[in-house]
């Protein structure tokens, strides 16, 4: 393990447009909740929200960004300034962003205009993707190290910090800018309202008369560094990231486990990593949304972990619930507690709930804890807990960076589209036609699952579950603590679109709660955990073509550090009318390639732990020419993915002619690569472009995204 320190912080929220303003609001007990004015909504004035009224375009100094991207850039620049990072430091830094809404505010406006019969600029739909914010940040800030986007609902920002720490622990980066961002949208406001968990008086966390949450927007980023790197450049350590833990309830798509079992597991894992006992924790920043079920569950979990629950408070009554940004905002809050020896109040609490029987801090107090715990819980039963320590007061850990070990494939399964192209049928009201695609017939995957259990699920969820079902029929999971890692470029976009279309047609009068629950990117990972009762870490990576490589890299870290014995890795994306039309406008596809869809799943173990597993995988977030040494075949997604200075005799093949083009098509390419290794012959799912392969022992799969090139190495032992 390596010591990790926080050297920079930046945020923007309803309680303050920078860290200083935010801390003063905490000191003064001043809430930033107010009436909605950002957009016209049938619900305007019904619920207080955490809206930011600053001119964001002016503050960030950039044009053409989504609101989520503007928020992120403002927070990121403040963090970089406090850390005093040089351009050279930034160039080598990594960037991990947690996001839920992405450019959805733009998508809502575009769909409303389409339904009204107006012309729109189709390329603007590309802003919808959460990864666009991450890419824009990296480009504007000149960050050239590893990047990725996490989308695990309300834990996204906290998980981005944990994964940033993994990058430092493994030596993949010495400096990581990590956090989360989300803007207010009509979808989230109406979606949570449809679940009856939004309060019309504001949140009263843990109070007997609490009615629900207040939706919000915001962004927060911190600079994580290895302690060695920070010392060498003379940076001040504001706090240490002492430990982190993650788990999944595997219980319900949107509600928490009533006994808080997943929350307990995440807290205990974080304590173990921090080498701390429950008695060492001097303050807990609770997730505390103000909903009946969440607060009751969290209280039960706290009482199971702590014999005497330390001082705690939920601070969401100050700034609302900004979804992906909340865990990152509360991480900064935790460092402020350590810096200023001030524990903030739990605004809104008056009456004890007999079912909770705990009293949070009703006023801010002076105290000097050495460890602070920050809890984040979200849809899909996702739980992430971070523990921050006071610099100089936490144990010094051996400074060793260890590259994550290779993983072995115990089994794999895939759902491929038809090779013959067919005409995509657009919704009639869109009045488009003529797009040739490679589609997976419904019968090819829906028949694998009980019809009654999938009737309320979206197409991406069903296809992911079907791929996992094929996998588990080959090799069932033996460890219920197995981790689940999902790679998806667009998530359950069809459910998102249906929800937005319905809002636009009905003036928000008839919201669709099931589709809202399905719309979150991590709905796939949550459903996989529920169906197969897998309660380990549960992560969703959504960064276009980089999604699979990033998810596989994290699987290597988790399995290599014995945080799990097994991992379910899954890649899935399906066809979307809006993505197709945006791609058409941008001329993304070149003949003979067509848009496609599909899913791939693997049961992974640490290399060497399963003697029967003969093929290993190794993810590389940054391609290096030496990876081609002893390679027998290079798989590439088009000419752009081909590295320079290739050996003239190296055989080259592609998978996209059989899979079609989509964000995570590399999942199908990887299954074809491992099939080729198993049979020592080129899979029929691959198209040879150059050379003639001989014996196949080592295959390199290479992709690009913008100027970034990354790779997966598959080898036969």
Q: Which residues are catalytic?
A: 154, 287, 321
Query: In degrees, to the nearest 5, what angle opens at C-alpha 148 toward C-alphas 146 and 152?
Result: 150
Q: Which residues contact 212 (CB under 8 A, 6 or more apart)?
A: 192, 196, 197, 198, 199, 203, 289, 290, 291, 292
CB burial of 619-635 (b: ≥16 within 10 Å; e: otherwise) equals bbbebeeebbeebbbbb
DSSP assigned state of 155 = G
Q: Which residues contact 569 (CB under 8 A, 6 or more apart)?
A: 485, 487, 551, 552, 555, 601, 602, 604
d(CA 432, CA 122): 13
- Backbone phi, psi, residue 626, to 5°: -65, -15
Question: Terminal CA-to-CA distance of the chain, rounded, Å?
Answer: 29
d(CA 268, CA 153): 22
Are 524 and 493 in contact by the 8 Å Cβ rule? The answer is no
Q: Which residues contact 183 (CB under 8 A, 6 or more apart)?
A: 66, 67, 68, 71, 101, 104, 105, 217
Query: In degrees, to the nearest 5, what angle opens at C-alpha 146 toward C-alphas 142 and 152?
Result: 110
**Residue 350 to residues 200, 284, 551: CA-CA distances in angstroms?**
17, 19, 44
Q: Which residues contact 73 (CB under 8 A, 6 or more apart)?
A: 60, 62, 65, 136, 137, 140, 141
What are residue 88's DSSP bridge partners?
none
| CB burial of residue 695 (10 Å; 0-12, 13-18, 19+) | exposed
Of 71, 69, 75, the closest CA to residue 134 belongs to 69
Of 102, 144, 142, the closest CA to residue 126 belongs to 102
């Amino acid at each position: 393990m390596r010591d990790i320190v926080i050297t920079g912080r930046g945020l923007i929220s309803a309680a303050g447009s920078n860290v200083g303003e935010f801390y003063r609001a905490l000191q003064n007990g001043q809430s930033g909740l107010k009436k909605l004015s950002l957009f016209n909504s049938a619900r305007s004035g019904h619920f207080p929200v955490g809206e930011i009224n600053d001119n964001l375009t002016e503050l960030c100094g950039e044009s053409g960004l989504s609101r989520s991207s503007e928020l992120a850039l403002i927070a990121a620049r403040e963090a970089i300034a406090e850390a005093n990072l040089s351009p050279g430091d930034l160039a080598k830094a990594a960037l991990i962003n947690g996001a839920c809404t992405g450019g959805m505010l733009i998508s809502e406006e575009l769909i409303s205009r389409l339904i009204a019969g107006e012309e729109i600029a189709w390329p603007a739909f590309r802003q919808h993707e959460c990864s666009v914010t991450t890419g824009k940040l990296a480009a504007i800030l000149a960050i050239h190290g590893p990047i990725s986007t996490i989308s695990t609902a309300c834990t996204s920002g906290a998980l981005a910090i944990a994964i940033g720490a993994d990058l430092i622990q493994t030596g993949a980066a010495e400096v990581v800018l990590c956090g989360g961002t989300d803007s207010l949208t009509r979808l989230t406001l109406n979606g949570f309202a449809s679940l009856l968990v939004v309060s019309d008086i504001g949140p009263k966390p843990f109070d007997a008369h609490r009615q629900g949450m207040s939706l919000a927007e915001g962004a927060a980023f911190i600079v994580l560094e290895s302690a060695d790197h920070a010392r060498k450049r003379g940076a001040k350590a504001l706090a240490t990231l002492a430990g982190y833990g993650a788990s999944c309830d595997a219980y319900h798509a949107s509600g928490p486990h009533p006994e808080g079992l997943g929350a307990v597991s995440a807290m205990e894992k974080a304590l173990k990593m921090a080498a701390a006992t429950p008695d060492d924790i001097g303050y807990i920043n609770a997730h505390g949304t103000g909903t009946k079920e969440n607060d009751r569950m969290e209280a039960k979990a706290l009482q199971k972990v702590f014999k005497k629950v330390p001082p705690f408070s939920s601070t969401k009554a100050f700034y609302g619930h900004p979804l992906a940004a909340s865990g990152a905002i509360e991480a900064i809050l935790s460092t402020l507690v350590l810096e200023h020896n001030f524990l903030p109040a739990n605004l809104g609490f008056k009456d004890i709930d007999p079912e909770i029987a705990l009293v949070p801090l009703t006023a801010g107090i002076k105290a000097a804890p050495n460890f602070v715990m920050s809890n984040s819980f979200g849809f899909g039963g996702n739980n992430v807990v971070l523990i921050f320590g006071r610099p100089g007061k936490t144990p010094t850990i051996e400074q060793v960076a260890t590259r994550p070990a290779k993983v072995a494939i115990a089994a794999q399964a895939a759902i491929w589209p038809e090779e013959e192209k067919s005409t995509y049928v657009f919704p009639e009201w869109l009045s488009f036609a003529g797009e040739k695609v490679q589609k997976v017939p419904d019968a090819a995957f829906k028949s694998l699952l009980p019809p009654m259990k999938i009737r309320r699920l979206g197409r991406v969820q069903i296809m992911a579950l079907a791929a996992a079902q094929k996998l588990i029929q080959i090799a069932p999971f033996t460890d219920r603590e197995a981790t689940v890692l999902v790679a998806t470029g667009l998530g359950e976009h069809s459910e998102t679109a249906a929800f937005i279309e319905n809002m636009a047609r009905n003036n928000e009068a008839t919201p669709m709660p099931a589709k809202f629950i399905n719309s979150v990117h991590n709905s796939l990972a949550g459903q996989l955990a529920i169906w197969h009762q897998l309660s380990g870490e549960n992560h969703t990576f959504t960064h276009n073509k980089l999604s699979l490589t990033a998810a596989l890299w994290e699987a290597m870290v988790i399995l290599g550090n014995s945080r799990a014995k097994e991992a379910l890795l899954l890649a899935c994306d399906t066809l979307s009318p809006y993505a197709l039309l945006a791609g058409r406008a941008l001329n993304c596809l070149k003949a003979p390639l067509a848009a496609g869809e599909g899913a791939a799943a693997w049961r992974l173990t640490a290399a060497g732990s399963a003697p029967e597993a003969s093929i290993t995988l190794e993810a590389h977030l940054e391609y290096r020419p030496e990876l081609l040494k002893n390679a027998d075949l290079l798989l590439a997604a088009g000419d752009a993915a081909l590295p320079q200075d290739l050996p003239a005799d190296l055989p080259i093949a592609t998978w996209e002619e059989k899979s079609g083009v989509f964000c995570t098509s590399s999942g199908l390419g990887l299954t074809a690569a491992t099939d080729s290794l198993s049979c020592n012959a080129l899979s029929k799912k691959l198209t040879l472009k150059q050379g003639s392969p001989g014996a196949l022992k080592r295959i390199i799969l290479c992709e690009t995204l913008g100027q970034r090139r990354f790779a997966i190495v598959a080898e036969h032992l």
